[in-house]
Every structure is written in C-alpha cells, then in structure tokens.
C-alpha cells in the first residue's frame, strides 16, 4: 500500500508542479505539441499527394492502348533466331488477342483471362499460354508466350488440306489441295475433330482414329532418311481394312510400307530392316521406288507390282 501511495504522490506532485508552472514552461510544452501536430499534418498531406500522383500515373498508363507482345516460336536449328510462324498466322493471333481486351480496364484480370481462353482454343499451345502484364515506361505491355505446337504436316480431307501437329493435333490453318508445301497424309476416312456443342473445328484436339497418327509417324521417320526429298505423302487408305500404309513419292509412285513404324504387323520385318532395305534400293537404283510404279517392302523380299499406275495414284500438287 505504501508503494502505491508513493507512486500516486509522485504523479500528483507532477501535476501540481504543472499547475504552478510559469508561462515559459507552458510555452515550451505548447511548441512541442504544435510541432508534432504540424509534422503529422505535413506527413498526411505528403502521403495523400503521393497517392494522387501514383493514381494519376496508373490511370495514364492504364488508359493507353496496351501493346501485345508475343514470344514467337523459334526455328530449332541452332543458327537462327527467326520464327517459323508465317506473318499471316502471327497477324491472326495478334488480332485475336487485341480483340479480347476490355475497354474499361485493358490491363484487368478479365482481359488477361479472355485472351488466355481465346488462345487456348486455337490449339497452338501445349498447355495454357503464359500471359503477363508489365510496363515499358508508361506503355502497358501484355506479353504472351508458352510451349508452341509445331506443324508437322497437312491432312487432306474432302478437298482441303488441314494443318496438324505431331499426334494429329489440329491447328487453325486450312489450304486448298497442294497449296501448303507441307508433307501430306492422304486417304483419311475420318473427318477432322469438331466441338460437340457448336460443331466448329476443335483446334488442339487429335484427329479421330489412328490413321493420321500412324501416317505422321511414317512421315517423320522418312524425313530423317537420305531419300526424304523423294517422299511427297503417306497414303493411309488401306489402314482401316489392313492396317497398312504407303509412301507416295514425288513422281506419284508407291512404296507399300506395311504397319506403322512403332508397331509392324504380324509377319512383317521390323522397322529397322525396312529402312535398311530402302537404303539399299536407293543405293542401287537412285530411287526409293526402284524405278517402278509400285513396290512392296514389308516382307523379307521386295515385291514389284508392274500393274500399278503411278500417274493415277499421284497426290494433287
């Protein structure tokens, strides 16, 4: 109790001392309090002004039309930074992205989500595209990149050539027959994939059935061999009935390969043996078709079909 009385006495004593303080003491106290109040006011005013400046800068930057910057896929030859994506397709993707930007806030999460959803449906990206926003000075930038699908060939169906990636994944480009200059798969019985709800082409989806996938497999293998410049197409018209596929040369002649490279049919020689056989034919005759209209190489001996017509079997070009 004595301790509490002592503390209370000390506090009362200080208050009593202030009550009897002279005007100089009160002036000093007043100046300290005044400096604190003024300083706090200046700080609040500065924060308010800074907030307005940042808000104005953000408004100026957000009100500028954003630039769309794609990270285009590169040619993977180790010698060039150029892209294989044609100018026309790049312009289509840029227009698509710009068209999905909302006008009220071009850098909003809604704009980025709309761009991502639209690009997802093009089929050009494996997984989702990576979309980021940034500023270059006061210029807003929407950067777009990701894992691009590369075109592998075109698939001819109903008089049109459809661009596909490996695995038969449909890409958003179509050409009149022979106009693409790409390797070709012909004789396909299934139509391209479509979306159930709308019936529109389903870019990013694999071509139905196994014909296209197996045809692309043989095209890829032949592209790595010395006679690649002699191969114009792969014909899969036999595939549904027999499982076999054919090479079509630049002269319209045929080489009946047999089952797909990854899974030869029962009774066939293995893929390595077929490749060795074709390399020997090219060495001896200078042509993968051995100078014939049609040959068969799926067994342990080459069979020549002298009744086949090369001209009638040639793909359109």
pLDDT tier for residue 299 given thresholds of 50, 70 and 90:
confident
End-to-end CA distance of the chain: 110
- Residues 121-150: what's their mean pLDDT? 91
Q: Rg for the chain (alpha carbons), in Å?
A: 37
Q: How far apart are CA 91 and CA 65, in angstroms?
A: 17
pLDDT digits (tens, 9 = 90+) for 214-244: 999 999 999 999 999 999 999 999 999 999 9
Bridge partners of residue 162, in order along the sequence: 155, 174
202 pLDDT more than 90: yes
Centre a 10 Å sphere on the Cβ of residue 140 and count the other Cβ atoms it contains: 18
Q: Which CATH number fits domain 151-313: 3.30.1490, 3.90.120, 3.40.50, 3.30.70?
A: 3.40.50
How confident is the model at residue 67, as a pLDDT?
87
Structure tokens at 62: 């957000």
What's the rounded Cα separation, in Å, for the pair 62 and 49? 20
State residue 193's pLDDT score: 97
Specify the length of the chain in residues.
317
List the domain boundaries for the chain: 2-63, 67-148, 151-313
Give dist(CA 177, CA 163) in Å, integer.
12
> Contact at 8 Å (CB) between 191 and 200?
no
Alpha-carbon gap, residue 21 to 16, rounded angstroms: 9
Q: Which helix (H) or strand (E) holds 130?
A: strand 125-136
Q: What is the pTM of this model?
A: 0.74
Q: Please state which CATH number belongs to domain 67-148.
A: 3.10.20
pLDDT at 197: 86
pLDDT tens digits for range 22-41: 555 545 545 544 555 445 44
């Amino acid at each position: 109790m004595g301790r509490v009385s002592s503390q209370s006495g000390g506090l009362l004593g200080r208050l009593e001392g202030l009550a009897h303080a002279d005007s100089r003491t009160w002036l000093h106290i007043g100046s300290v309090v005044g400096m604190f109040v003024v300083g706090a006011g200046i700080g609040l005013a500065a924060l308010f002004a800074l907030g307005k400046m940042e808000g104005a800068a953000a408004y100026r930057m957000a009100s500028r039309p954003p630039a769309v910057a794609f990270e285009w896929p590169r040619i993977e030859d180790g010698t060039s930074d150029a892209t294989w994506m044609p100018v026309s397709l790049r312009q289509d993707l840029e227009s698509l992205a710009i068209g999905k930007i909302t006008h009220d806030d071009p850098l909003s999460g809604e704009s980025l989500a709309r761009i991502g959803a639209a690009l997802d449906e093009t089929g050009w990206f494996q997984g989702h595209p990576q979309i980021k926003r940034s500023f270059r000075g006061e210029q807003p930038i929407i950067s777009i990149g990701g894992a691009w699908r590369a075109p592998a060939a075109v698939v001819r169906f109903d008089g049109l050539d459809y661009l596909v990636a490996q695995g038969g994944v449909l890409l958003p480009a179509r050409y009149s027959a022979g106009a693409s200059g790409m390797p070709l798969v012909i004789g396909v019985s299934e139509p391209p994939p479509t979306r159930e709800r709308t019936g529109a082409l389903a870019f990013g989806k694999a071509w139905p059935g196994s014909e296209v996938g197996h045809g692309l497999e043989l095209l890829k293998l032949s592209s790595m061999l010395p006679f690649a410049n002699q191969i114009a197409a792969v014909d899969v018209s036999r595939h549904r009935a027999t499982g076999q596929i054919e090479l079509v040369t630049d002269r319209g002649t045929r080489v009946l390969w047999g089952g797909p490279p990854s899974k030869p049919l029962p009774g066939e020689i293995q893929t390595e043996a077929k490749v060795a056989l074709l390399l020997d034919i090219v060495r001896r005759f200078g042509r993968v078709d051995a100078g014939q209209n049609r040959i068969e190489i799926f067994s342990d001996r080459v069979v020549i079909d002298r009744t086949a017509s090369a001209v009638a079997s040639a793909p359109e070009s």
